[in-house]
Amino acid sequence: MLVSVHARKSVCAFRSPGQRKDKRVQSFSELQISSYVKERLLHASFVTPTPVQAATIPQAIEGHDVLATAQTGTGKTLAFLIPVMEQLMREKKPGVTALVLVPTRELAMQVASQYDALRGRQLPPAAVVVGGLAEGPQLAALRRGARLVVATPGRLEDFLQRKSVDFRALRILVLDEADRMLDVGFLPAIRRIAAVLPKHRQTMCFSATLEGEVVRLVTDYMKNPVRVAIGSTTKPAENVRLQAFEVIPEHKQALLRRLLVKETGRCLVFVRTKRGADRLTKALNHDGLAAATIHGNRSQSQRTTALAGFQQGRYRVLVATDIASRGIHVEEIVHVINYDLPEVAESFIHRVGRTGRLGKRGCASTLFTRSERADLQKLERTLGISMEIPRSSDSQPETLAIRDERDNKVHTRVERNPRHRNSTTRFKMISLRGEVLQGQLGN
């Protein structure tokens, strides 16, 4: 059976078998959680929950399994950290109480960092278990009695095989970015890890999409999960302005520089290849734009330094491959620029999701050449969107006016929700038991 949650802004109602009742969560202070956790939230200036938090946390606190889908940037991390912290406050027994599995070491470090910022003195530090970093400090954190483990499946499975971690006391399992974990091939490792976990536990699963393998995970490892669906996960958020610039290849870097110079805040630039990321970063720094890069060939130390510098303002521009399109949560990114078109529509969603987070306004620009017109149109049809097409005679963004070649008149076009009667989508919808009611994010 699948229980459903319908959320609109910070109001949620849930329907369970044979009954329906409303739960309105306007403030974290209304949650049935310990006074200590409330104090820590207030200390961190968390007052009003986002829609996914308002819908998820009350159900998780009551011990229900939760399956949640929501757009990126909606506060999913806090939606599972608060129930985890509450369980840690209630359960004082030694041993690992909660396990959070994530697809990348960057996301693991981000989750642990947010937990450490909230936990205060009454809760112990988290242990981060990831590949690409020295295992000595990770093993030491486990031996010191960490009760929350945030891990990537590969390194955790290695520790389990060596009997370096014990999950007999586990109460909560969180699968964060579940679809991404399956995309990168972690399904066999997840299954082997789940096989050694206690059968009687609470499981929370957060995913941007619900495709076949994610549904099978839900079927195999969750018990009567509450289904939380917030907004559309196959379209960019409404508060993000979408625009595309047609440019000849030799003017592409000049257009990018012009876009970056016009911004005063953080900008995230996506490219398709690692070599392209390195070349573009070097060129931007040569032009006086403080830029760093992050991609799969960079060492963990280099990636951490680049991300920290971007967060702290030493670098205003971060050039990245799609490794950063999910799991990198940096506040106040005002502009995402697709220097290269993404290979699949889903990557576009996750790239654009880095801006306009938590209801704030953002901008996403996509650069394309004449030979890529068909690819851009296919992307729009797949996602059911239409981007503004600013043009000027030199292919630089001087105005949002565009010229209609048929009547030679200049006019503007802003179409955010066009009807695509004949469009198709690559996202295959899987039928789940129970009713799923979609909620819309408020601005």
Dist CA 70 CA 229 (whole Å): 6
pLDDT digits (tens, 9 = 90+) for 256-315: 999 999 998 999 999 999 999 999 999 999 999 999 999 878 887 888 889 889 988 999
Same topology between domain 3-230 and domain 240-412? yes
> Residue 243 burial by CB count (10 A; 0-12/13-18/19+): exposed, middle or buried?
middle
Maximum alpha-carbon separation in the chain:
75
Dist CA 152 CA 106 (whole Å): 10
Residue 441 binned pLDDT confidence (cut-offs 50, 70, 90): very low
Parse the chain into domains and list their residue ranges: 3-230, 240-412
CATH architecture of residue range(s) 3-230: 3-Layer(aba) Sandwich (3.40)
Residue 106 binned pLDDT confidence (cut-offs 50, 70, 90): confident
Q: How far is CA 161 from CA 252, 307, 414, in A?
A: 50, 32, 56
Of 416 and 173, which is predicted with more confidence? 173
pLDDT digits (tens, 9 = 90+) for 358-371: 667 899 999 999 99
Alpha helices for 44-104 (secondary structure H): 51-61, 76-90
pTM score, whole prediction: 0.66
**Token pair listed for 115:** 């937990």
Strand partners for 21: 14
pLDDT at 7: 40
The CATH topology of domain 240-412 is: Rossmann fold (3.40.50)
Mean pLDDT of 404-417: 36
Q: Which of 48-52, 352-356, 403-407 has the highest mean pLDDT?
A: 48-52
pLDDT digits (tens, 9 = 90+) for 187-235: 999 999 999 999 999 999 998 777 777 888 888 999 999 999 876 556 6
